[in-house]
Copies of this chain bind each other. A is one copy, B any other.
Amino acid sequence: MNEIKPIKTPSVPAPDILRCAYMELVVTDLQKSREFYVDALGLVVTEEDENTIYLRSFEEFIHHNLVLRQGDQAAVAAFSFRVRSPEDLDKAVAYYQELGCDVRRNKDGFVNGIGDSVRVLDPLGFPYEFFYETTHVRRMCWDYDKQGAGALVRLDHFNQVFPDVVNGAKYLEDLGFKRTEDIQDDQGVTYAAWFVRKHTVHDTALTGGDGPRMHHVAFSTHEKHNILYICDKLGALRMSDQIERGPGRHGVSNAFYLYLRDPDGHRVEIYTQDYYTGDPDNPVVTWDVHDNQRRDWWGHAVVPSWYTDASTVLDLDGNPVPIIERQEPKEMEVTIGADGFSYTRKDDKPEGFKVGEQL
């Protein structure tokens, strides 16, 4: 029933990935995107011109965490990871060449502020980038006069929609990612899984669904009230219709979250306070797909758009990557509606107050 063939494990070593570093987004109205990311969310502008804006979070010292590039169709051009050393780029080239992927290297970087870089269309169909060289910029940790009440302090993670989580996971684990959590059912279906290189719960995740598509990019705040303030501010700006889901507490990751939609519909998560995962034997947490607290610890229903909507990803020539449909059961269908169910207490009948009233 799996959608794709297993990805083979290359014979050469994988590049040593440090962390998710930046996403390159194609947006259809750069000025409207600037209003969202800079005026409303307060990301720091490292540099900008008429076609491109380079943004970073307040604690970042590399050139940027987000590139907004004007284009005709909203899409994701790159999921970019930083590697440990310049030599890891050679490893990346060899690794993906053995996998038969389209691999391109640019000594000057594909975007400003980034040096020698490798871009690949990976076996799952996502445009991945690897780089080490980057311009160091001011780390604005201490610039409290410039940080607003909702200051975004770090890029935390990416999230990718892909039909076959099991085979997708094998590829990511070969690449050196460590699984931290997943959602399964008792039939052996995996609905989503989370993967990390740095010491948080994830650098990226696979959400089961029609893909390859980009589910969201996530930035961190220090505290939960920073996230609440972002909502309050969006209300004051009469932009509350860009709040898609939350704020709430995740079951998975234990983090506090908020999902926004940018003017093109790209989903942005604001996230804070997951846990340390840096030990090699860090325990993997598996959630039951029918546990109504897995995605929202407070048991609130996930809005359907959160399951169905995601962003197109581009190949290295800038063309949309075709979508493969998920064949396995879909999380939304097995948890809500006539054919699904969710429980608050595993042994309770499913007719509890909330499930009966709200879904």
Interface residues of A (CB under 8 A from B): 18-19, 59, 61-62, 82, 84-85, 136, 139, 141-149, 151, 153-154, 198-199, 222-225, 228-229, 231-244, 247, 249, 251, 254, 256, 261, 265, 273, 275-276, 278-283, 292-293, 297-300, 303-305, 344-345, 352-355, 357-358
Determine whether the beta carbon of B275 is less than 8 Å from that of A139. yes
Cβ-neighbour of A355 out of B154, B241, B353 (below 8 A): B241
Number of copies: 4
Q: Are A235 and B299 in contact (CB under 8 A)?
A: yes
Closest Cβ neighbor of A274 among chain B residues: B141
Given A229-B144, A275-B139, A283-B61, A240-B293 contact (CB < 8 Å): yes
List 4 additional contacts besides A223-B223, A238-B345; criterion CB under 8 Å.
A144-B236, A241-B292, A242-B353, A243-B300
CB-CB under 8 A from A18, the residues of chain B are 278-280
Which B-chain residue is minimally distant from A265 (CB atoms)? B353
Cβ contacts under 8 Å, A82 to chain B: 279
A237 CA / B143 CA spacing, docked (Å)? 8
Task: Establish whether residues A61 and B240, one from each chain, have CB atoms under 8 Å apart when the complex forms.
Answer: no
Contact A235:B144 (CB < 8 A) given known A84-B280, A278-B198: yes
Residue of B nearest to A143 (CB): B236
A32 and B344 alpha carbons, distance in the complex (Å): 17
Let me know if B298 and A243 touch, CB within 8 A.
yes
Q: A273 to B292, alpha carbons, bound, how many Å?
A: 30
In the assembled complex, 17 residue pairs joining A and B whose CB atoms fall closer than 8 Å, in A order, are A18-B280, A19-B278, A61-B282, A136-B281, A139-B275, A142-B236, A142-B251, A148-B148, A148-B149, A198-B276, A198-B278, A223-B224, A223-B225, A238-B345, A239-B344, A241-B353, A243-B299
Please tell me if the beta carbons of B228 and A224 are within 8 angstroms of each other in the complex: yes
CB distance from A199 to the nearest CB of B (A): 5
Which chain B residues lie closer than 8 Å to A84 at the CB level? 280
User: What is the CB-to-nearest-CB distance from A145 to chain B, in angstroms, rounded to a whole number?
Assistant: 4
Q: How far is the CA of A199 from the CA of B301 in the complex (A)?
A: 34
> What residues on B are CB-neighbors of A243 within 8 Å?
298-300, 354
A304 cross-chain contacts in B, Cβ below 8 A? 357
Known: A139-B275, A256-B228. A237 touches B280 (CB 8 A): no
Q: List, in ascending order, chain B residues with CB within 8 A of A241's CB.
A: 292, 299, 344, 352-355
Q: Decide: B280 and A85 in contact? CB cutoff 8 A.
A: yes
Q: CB-CB < 8 A to A281: which residues of B?
A: 136
Contacts A139-B275, A275-B59 hold; do A240 and B292 have CB atoms under 8 A apart?
Answer: yes
Closest 4 CB pairs of A and B: A240-B299, A149-B149, A241-B354, A144-B232
Other-chain residue from B235, B237, B256, B292 in contact with A249 (beta carbon distance below 8 A): B235
Task: Chain B residues near A236: list those with CB within 8 A.
Answer: 142-146
Q: Which of A142, A144, A145, A224 has the most CB of B within 10 A?
A: A144
Docked pose: A40 CA to B225 CA in angstroms: 21
What CA separation (Å) do A151 and B225 show in the bound complex? Answer: 14
Residues of B within 8 A of A142 (CB): 235-236, 251, 254, 297
Contact of A298 among B149, B240, B280 (CB under 8 A): B240
- Given that A222-B273, A223-B224, A275-B59 are contacting pairs, would A293 and B235 also be in contact in the complex, using a CB cutoff of 8 Å? yes
